[in-house]
Structure 1
Amino acid sequence: MTPVVPARTGLESAFPAAMLSAVGTKESWRKEVHRPATSTHKWWAKRLGTVFRGILASATTPEDADGAAAYASPLDLKGAVVLDPFAGSGVTGVEALKLGARPVCFDINPVATLVQRQAMQPWNMEDLTAAYKTVEAACRNEIDHLHRTEDGRSVLYYFWVATVQCPECSDRVRLFDSPVFSKNAYPKRVPKAQIVCPECLAVKQSRYDFRTETCPNGHEISQRGAVRGQMTTCRQGHTFKILTALGGNRPMFEMYAKMVAGPDGSKVYEGITDWDRDLYEKCVERLAGLPDSMVLPQGELARGNNTDQALKWNFREWRDFFNARQLVSLSLIATAIRDLPAPSAEREALATLFSGTLEFNNLFTSFKGEGTGAVRHMFSHHVLKPERTPLEAHPWGTPQSSGSFSTLYKSRLQRAHAYKVKPADLVDEGTGVERVTGLAKPLVATVVDSWRSFQAAQGQTAYVATRNSAETDLPDGSIDLVVTDPPYMDNVHYAELADFFHAWLHGMRPYNAYAALATTRRTGEVQHADPVEFGKALEAVWRECARVLKPGGLLAFTFHQARISGWVQVVESLRRAGFVITAVQPVKGEMSTSVVKAGAQEPSNLDSVVVCRRAADGATNPNGSPEEAQATAQKELSALLEAGVDVGAGDVRSVVRGSLLAYLSSAGTGLNDAVAAQVDALASEAIDALIAPKKSAAILV
């Protein structure tokens, strides 16, 4: 049988990085539209399906063949077994299935496994629609009743503000940093805005750039609120630190406005009335009377890089992330889904949809404004960042809602189903990037959770399981190709964030094997702030990959890291596991305009595709010296620059580091601090050579 992976592949020598960067850029702006199967639920650092299709195509194409043509063809990898040991949202598995391969997808986090299962298994839409209607009949009327005005109109959003008590005079301070609570996404074009009086909470229409206003009750409103960074000032002039004033308690919140749906489809801003306050108090009473059989979030927050900020604000339990009305409404939906008759792919899909709805319905969301999706979800920053002015949305929703169960049902599940039936791929047609169908097989996989079942299965099959990829049930030499995206060394600790969803999911049991433990944190997680521990955990997974790869097999993964210590540990972990890096290929990564990247000193636009083979198979690094390794990296980056790809200083630094460290490691050079400093000096030279001319040209223009 001809090996799936050629002796020398296009991935190693003729990777179509510029073309993939072009199609990847288009995908990155609307991943949920172009790759909806992997967008049914939040997962972090989701890779681009176009790039992973390109990796799979190039890894199975000889070096003298056209990698771009292979990407744009109905390639058939029937018989190939592809492993992703850090499967995340399931991008590798989906792209492998579309190309006819059989994926094995492992992740240590059960929420990730749930997302992967939705990406790959089919749904019967008649059964899904029936299950959705059953849930709607069980809970919608009561949820609608909790989100209405006195005259029966639907409330789309309630606006809240956190309050603290002044330590000196006991004055209650509303933590507004500005009285403008709603403005257009393009305010200079549409200056109309809504403002609130911090004194009496009267609502008034004004401009986003107003200087002073007088509220309907005669109070003067200035442009600035009481908050300045971490400090606030009471009406008596006392300035104090907000966190100190909390005194170990979670902030209190007060409703100050609402957006109401008009019968003609209009949206109207109104102030809060006593009727609204009474309705909320009824929710408090309803929550206290919920029977123990109802689904509610369980568990406490543990200390962590991504949870410490919430803990500082005294959010101790996961149920603290919701107000009483949210807990009642969400519990009604969750319980109705849990109580659907029998375990099925459709029940599982609705449980996943509910979990995704949580992201938009909690006290950590905020209002984005007019002219855009209304709800800024809680993970717009990769930390659990408390909001001083949270937005409470209607969890079931109306046609005018954003981020609700009913609207996400259409935008996520129905869109994902249509994509699974008829997948489309982005192809560079020469005159532009277009969506093309007919290049991929439909996604109709039977999902199994053991190697034995995987071997026995007929037809399109995916082995998807929650497990530590350092310890698998895969036989020696059973995998043709490993394609993955390992976690960051630091920054985003997935389990700390995923516990927010798991707090609800483990009481719902989306499928029989879903983890019933109280947290998704696990021994064996690769992510670690300590570089050495990160390297050890990563090495254990690479060793397992080396064991299960067939002779001549290939490992390829995407990576970028701001700290050189992360690159050093990745390269050294590969060497210790018996791998040699045979290529480092720069290509388009995530969307470069995210909130998180906007705050980075050197935001990244590119990933490095690190290509490896086993030393036992005779693999060698193609470069003969550090200078050659640097020149190789600069040549690849120059090609992207010439193709119009956005390449920044951080991208050059990361790619050159990877290429140099790969050569030095293969040459037996110990990667100590002195070597790392030399590598960074060469990376700086490359930045000067590649980025400085680009800046000079821009200045001249």
Structure 2
Amino acid sequence: MPESNGYDPKPIEKYFPIAEVNKIADKESKAKRYYRPVYTMHKWWARRLGSVFKTILLYSLADENIKIIEDSQKSLTKKDWSGDPEELWDFYLEDVNFDGKTVLDPFFGGGTTIVEALRMGCNVVGKELNPVAWFVTKKEIEPVDPDKLEEAFEKLKKEIAPEIKEYYKTTCPECGEEADAMYYFWIKEIKCLNCNQTIPLFKGYVLASSRSSNDDFHWVICPKCENLFKSENYNEENSCPRCKNKFNPNKDRNTTGRYYICPNCGQKEEIIENIRRNGKPEERMYAVEFYCENCDENNNENLVNGKGYKEIDEKDKNLFKQAEAKFEEIKNDLPVPQQKVPPGQKTRELKNHGYNYFKDMFNKRQLLNLGTLLNQILRLRDKKEKELLLLTFSYMLEYQNMLCEYNRGKNHLYNLFRRHAYHPSLNPVENTVWGCKYGSVDFEKSFEKIKRGTNYALSPYERYIENNETEKKETKTPIRGDFTENFENLGKKGNTLLLCGDSSYLPIPEKSVDAIITDPPYFDNVMYSELSDFYYVWLREGLKEDYEYFNAKLTPKNSEVIKNPVQNKEDKDFITGLTRIFSESNSKLREDGILAFTFHHAKTEAWASVLKSVLESGFYVTAVYPIQAEMGTSMHIHEKGNIEYDMIIVCRKRKKELAEKSWEGLHDQIYLKARETIKNLEKRGKRITQGDMFVVAMGKCLEEYSKYYPNVVRNGEQVNVKTALKEIREIVDSQFMSGKFDEFERKLDTPSAAYLSFIAGRGDSISYNTLNKELQQRAVSIEDLINWGLVKKEGSQVVKLSLEERAEEIENKKESQINAIERAHYIQHLKKEGNLAKEIEKWADDISVKALEELSKVENKKELHELAEYTEKKIGEPSLESFTR
């Protein structure tokens, strides 16, 4: 039983329903729009899951008597429970009301704590440095009349939609009628530094796959005359029907990685070096995806539900020129942001590609229509409706810029922040601002998302898993923030004190909150201010008159708690900032109160920093639990790689120092507890990566070490935080991972074991030093990995070879030299190239199946599991069948 300073332990200090909440969290992480639409009203990075935080609140605040709302009159009923924390889970679906209890979140970000606490009848105090996050959370919880909101939207639609939509029309190539443009395809062009030839920076000449599952062709574009035509096999040489030019749409290209290759003189140069010398590349429109209502109604079989692709014609070019001319004519009257892109870790990529102002991320048609739309929104009278439509406008911006790309396999637009970064595109795609029947996020579709969020806030519900089926239960308490400007009125004239500013100062009385539930910044994982400036510069146009937080030209950077070398912020700055805020929060917490927060990171120094801050601010850790982490479909998480779990860290105020504790004994204790936790997770069928093992071990180290801090000793010397965590990391590397490596080696072979243990699931590159340290415990070196054709070294990084590079290596080997992971990779390559059905017979065997299965677990990819099943069916099968992609 954890120590609790003389107070009875809270349920969360004794137990947390990991298995139960993970079932819901896993589903929610992949479908927030169905589970909690309120969190999809606007982008915020690394937003934690509502089901997890609701459970944290329930287990942190529950007393012997629990009040619930059982009827439409919203009267409170007291229910006793036995005090057994395992039985507390029965209340998860109830309309629990912690009437009178106050929850503080000093880093409220996207608002998860605030929203879930209001749902449970709490008073909430939240503070957040970033004005964008403050505004997003304010709009999530501020009540609005749905009819008035709809009325404001319809007024806007009537006044401005026809004007905007006229700039997104094209001619249908099938019937000659006017059609709606869904997406315009653009290509960046540069001048060769050697011969001055104009080079379109095509990464390939495949525009899109067929939209119909009944067709097996791709739309490709001729590099010589830019004719758009259907190709039955884009992996082989094609002949253009118009100019007879021969080319391979998938393999021919003018760029490779960060280089361009001049088709005229063969010169190879870095793209950003060309941009440094010549400025931001020109962009040229070359194709459009359209929707033709006439063809849709007449069931034109050459189109799919009226949708198709065409080359740009003169009408399309002239329409864009009209938009350019109109923008130049009225640009001084439009609320278009003029701020420069500031120096930064994430903004460096923007500057490298010639984006010096935020407005440079948009073309002139976008600036015209976005500026016109924003102008009209700002003329609305009612503040609540105007602000929600401003949020609608802001939400769609990440789909309305020239950094967006097209997913050519799935025929949809990629949003800007699918990664936690700015990623300039060589092949940008322009979306329509107001929208049409089909297509990605535009203003009309954004508004539908806002409505779903506000309707959910008025009438929340819970989705849960019962008999492996998802069920839904409506609840009575709305998500409603009644705002007050000071703590004295909290609980009397309002239930919400929402502040914007530095949380090292909290203007509330000492010992006034029952719990602190938060999600602090993750060291160097997300540069919130640098990314949110993208939204801020537009929101500021509409909010600077009403809120002082939007007076500055950009979001605040100086007080941000983050590690960011570009801002000259190092580990010590992160520790100092976090300690300041945790210390201030400590003073506001009641003596029997709980601090619970979530954290995960792949770096030892990040855990050292957060543990030091917890300890220095007067807390110690009483319990730690692993729980489902960020959105499962996040491209950022998939590429960053191998951490699926957050750790919930529960803390109490420290009252006294304990006697000295031997580090040797504590070291063994941590190892045994971490091993037990990992085994329990594996028993539940959860995939456990090296990153997960590390996170679990770090959490257990926090829990045990913090109880005795600063009196943890070895040979009479204090063992500091950094040393403790470093040695726990060595446990992960030497003890836990050695078992995984040995298991893979027994099942497969040494190169495959090395790949699965140290390379797979970790993104495209790994630090050379990090990988070298991990391999030191094995009879394997980075040189071995390179010789096996698994990786290559680029500077200080070890880079994973692409499937194409791996395939080339494998094709040059004898059959007897090909190992298990190579067989798995080649089968993946065959599928990607469309040759699986033709060649699978040669590669299908038990070893290939095992390698694909293990790879699917490590990389957490369902499609690899399906590929393994397909391969298994093909073992010994004489005939060849098509594999459904």
Specify if TM > 0.5.
Answer: yes
2:396 corresponding residue in structure 1: 357
Compute the displacement of 1:6 (Å): 7.3
1:454 aligns with 2:490: yes
Contact 2:506 2:585 in 1 (8 A): no
**Mapped partners of 1:355, 1:301: distance in 2:** 18
1:125 aligns with 2:139: no
Tell me if structure 2 keeps the 8 A contact 1:556–1:611.
Answer: yes
Q: Residue deviations 1:79-104, cap 9 Å, x none? A: 11111111111111111111111222
Question: Per residue, is there more helix in 1 or in 2?
Answer: 2
The corresponding residue for 1:395 is 433
Work out which structure has the larger RCO, using CA pairs closer than 8 Å and 6 or more positions apart in sequence: 1
Candidates 502, 507, 513, aligned match of 2:536: 502
Cα distance in 2 between the residues matched to 1:628 and 1:186: 58
Per the TM alignment, residue 282 of structure 1 is displaced from its structure 2 partner at its CA by 1.4
Matched, 1:547 2:587: yes
Name 1:380's counterpart in structure 2: 418
What letter corresponds to residue 45 of structure 1 in structure 2? A
Separation in structure 1 between the aligned mates of residue 160 and residue 657 of structure 2, nearest angstrom: 63
For residue 675 of structure 1, what is the aligned residue in structure 2?
724
Residue 690 of structure 1, CA deviation: 7.3
Q: Which residue pairs with 1:579 in the alignment?
A: 619
Q: Match for 1:245: what amino acid?
A: N
SS, match of residue 149 in structure 1:
strand
| Residues 1:148 and 2:166 are matched in the alignment | no
- Report the AA paired with residue 64 of structure 1: D
Query: Matched residues in 1 for 2:479 and 2:20: separation?
Result: 25
- Shift of the 166–248 alpha-carbon distance from structure 1 to 2, 3 Å rule, reads closer
Query: Do the aligned residues in 1 keep the contact of 2:621 with 2:650 (CA within 8 Å)?
Result: yes
Query: Which is further off, 476-485 or 363-372?
Result: 363-372
Match of 1:270 in 2: 310
> Once the 2 structures are TM-superposed, how far is the Cα of residue 401 of structure 1 from its aligned partner?
2.1
2:40 maps to what in 1?
39
Alignment partner for residue 414 of structure 1, among 410, 428, 451?
451
Q: CA deviation at 1:228?
A: 0.8
Partner of residue 234 from structure 1, selected from 231, 239, 262 = 262
Q: Which moved more, 1:478-487 or 1:440-449?
A: 440-449
1:110 and 2:131 aligned: yes
Superposition deviation, residue 394 in structure 1: 0.5
Letter in 1 for 2:332: D
**Is 1:74 aligned to residue 74 of structure 2?**
no
Give the Cα–Cα distance (whole angstroms) in 1 for the partners of residues 425 and 178 of structure 2.
29
Contact 2:369/2:433, CA 8 A, preserved across alignment: yes
Distance 1:621 1:394 in 2: 66
Asked whether 1:180 is paired with 2:206, we answer yes
The verdict on how the C-alpha distance between 1:170 and 1:450 changes in structure 2, with shifts beyond 3 A counting, is farther
Q: 1:245 aligns with which of 259, 263, 274?
A: 274
Shift of residue 32 of structure 1?
A: 2.2
2:819 aligns with none
Q: Which amino acid aligns with 1:466?
A: C
Instruction: Give 3-state SS (helix, strand or coil) of 2:550's partner.
Output: coil
**Amino acid in structure 1 at the alignment position of 2:267:** H
Q: Residues 624-635 of structure 1 correspond to what in structure 2 (within 5 A)?
A: 625-635=666-676
Contact 2:626 2:696 in 1 (8 A): yes
Which residue is equivalent to 2:775? none
Tell me if structure 2 keeps the 8 A contact 1:450–1:465: no
1:433 Cα deviation (Å)?
5.2
Cα 1:599/1:371, change in 2 over 3 Å: closer
RMSD of the TM alignment (CA)? 2.6
Cα deviation, residue 521, structure 1: 2.7
Amino acid at match of 1:415: R
Q: Which residue of 2 aligns with 1:202?
A: 227
Contact 2:140/2:454, CA 8 A, preserved across alignment = no
Question: Which of 561, 567, 570 is the aligned partner of 1:526?
Answer: 561
Superposed displacement of residue 505, structure 1: 0.7
TM-score scaled by length of structure 2 = 0.74
- Verify: 1:64 aligned to 2:100, yes or no: no
Q: 1:166 to 1:568 in 2, by over 3 A?
A: same
Given that 2:30 and 2:633 are in contact with CA atoms closer than 8 Å, whether structure 1 keeps it comes out as: no
Q: Is contact 1:38–1:115 with CA below 8 Å preserved after alignment? A: no
Q: What is the CA–CA distance in structure 1 between the aligned matches of 2:541 and 2:658, rounded to whole Å? A: 49
Alpha-carbon displacement from aligned partner over 1:389-410 (angstroms, at most 9, x marks no partner): 0110111101212110101211
Residues 184-203 of structure 1 deviation map (CA, whole Å, 9 limit, x = unaligned): 6999x963221112222221
Measure, in 2, the Cα distance between the counterparts of 1:291 and 1:389. 26
Write the deviation string for residues 348-400 of structure 1: whole angstroms up to 9, x where unpaired.
1110110011010101101124646x210001121111000011011110121
- Note the 1:416-431 alignment, pairs <5 A: 416-429=453-466, 431=467
Q: Alignment partner of 2:383: what SS?
A: coil
Q: How many angstroms does 1:605 deviate by?
A: 0.5
On the 8 A contact 1:424/1:438 being kept in 2, the answer is yes
Cα distance, 1:452 vs structure 2: 4.2
Structure 2 residue 343 is the aligned partner of structure 1 residue 328: no
* 1:174–1:198 CA contact under 8 A, matched in 2: no
User: For 1:455 and 1:619, how far apart are their aligned partners in 2?
Assistant: 39
Q: Distance in 1 between matches of 2:443 and 2:42?
A: 12
Structure 1 range deviating more: 626-635 or 278-287: 626-635
Q: Secondary structure at the match of 1:532?
A: helix
Paired residue secondary structure (2:672):
helix
Q: Describe the shift of the 1:185–1:113 C-alpha distance in structure 2 as closer, same or farther (beyond 3 A).
A: farther
Greater alpha carbon shift after TM alignment, 143-152 vs 84-93? 143-152
Q: Do the aligned residues in 2 keep the contact of 1:562 with 1:650 (CA within 8 Å)? A: yes
Structure 1 stretch displaced more, 355-364 or 221-230: 221-230
Q: CA deviation at 1:418?
A: 2.5
Query: What is the alpha-carbon distance in structure 2 between the residues aligned to residue 519 and residue 620 of structure 1?
Result: 50
User: How far apart are 1:310 and its partner, in Å?
Assistant: 0.9
Distance 1:408 1:240 in 2: 41
Report the Cα distance in structure 2 between the residues aligned to 1:620 and 1:316, rounded to whole angstroms. 58
Deviation at 1:341, TM superposition (A): 1.4
Q: Aligned with 1:210: secondary structure?
A: coil
Mark the runs of 5 or more structure 1 residues left unpaired by the alignment: none
Q: Report the count of equivalent residues.
A: 690
Residue 503 (structure 2) aligns with: 469
**Could you say what secondary structure the match of 1:178 adopts?**
coil
The residue that corresponds to 2:353 in the other structure is 313
**For residues 439 and 567 of structure 1, do their structure 2 counterparts lie closer, same or farther at Cα, with a shift above 3 Å needed?**
same
Contact in 1 for aligned 2:220/2:234 (Cα 8 Å): no
| Conservation of the 8 A alpha-carbon contact between 1:185 and 1:369 | no
State the SS of the aligned residue for 2:44: coil
Q: What CA distance in whole angstroms lies between the structure 2 residues aligned with 1:337 and 1:577?
A: 45
Task: Give the superposition deviation at 1:174.
Answer: 0.6
Structure 1 residue 119 displacement after superposition: 1.6
Displacement of 1:425 = 1.5
Q: Does the alignment pair 1:193 with 2:218? A: yes
Which amino acid is 1:83 matched to? Answer: L
Q: Is this contact kept in 1: 2:93–2:473, CA < 8 A?
A: no
Q: CA deviation at 1:597?
A: 2.6
CA deviation map 1:234-275 (0-9, x unaligned): 221222221222225112100010011111241121101122
Cα offset, 1:42, TM superposition: 0.5
Partner of 1:478 in structure 2?
Answer: 512
CA distance, structure 1, for counterparts of residue 394 and residue 39 of structure 2: 15
Q: Separation in 2 of the partners of 1:218 and 1:397?
A: 37
> Does structure 2 retain, via aligned residues, the 8 Å contact 1:175–1:389?
yes
| 1:21 aligns to 2:60 (yes or no) | no
Q: Aligned letter for 2:588?
A: V
- Of the candidates 320, 336, 340, which is equivalent to residue 296 of structure 1? 336
Change (3 A) 1:620 1:378: farther
Contact 1:551 1:617 in 2 (8 A): no
Deviating more after overlay: 643-652 vs 682-691: 682-691
Q: Once the two structures are aligned, what percentage of the paired residues are identical? A: 25
Separation (CA, whole Å) in 1 of partners of 2:649 and 2:57: 13
Structure 2: distance between partners of 1:95 and 1:672: 34
Q: Cα deviations across residues 188-231 of structure 1 (Å, max 9, x unaligned)?
A: x9632211122222211224633122222333232321111111
Q: Does 1:219 align with 2:245?
A: yes
Structure 1 residues 338 and 690, CA gap change in structure 2 (3 angstroms)? farther
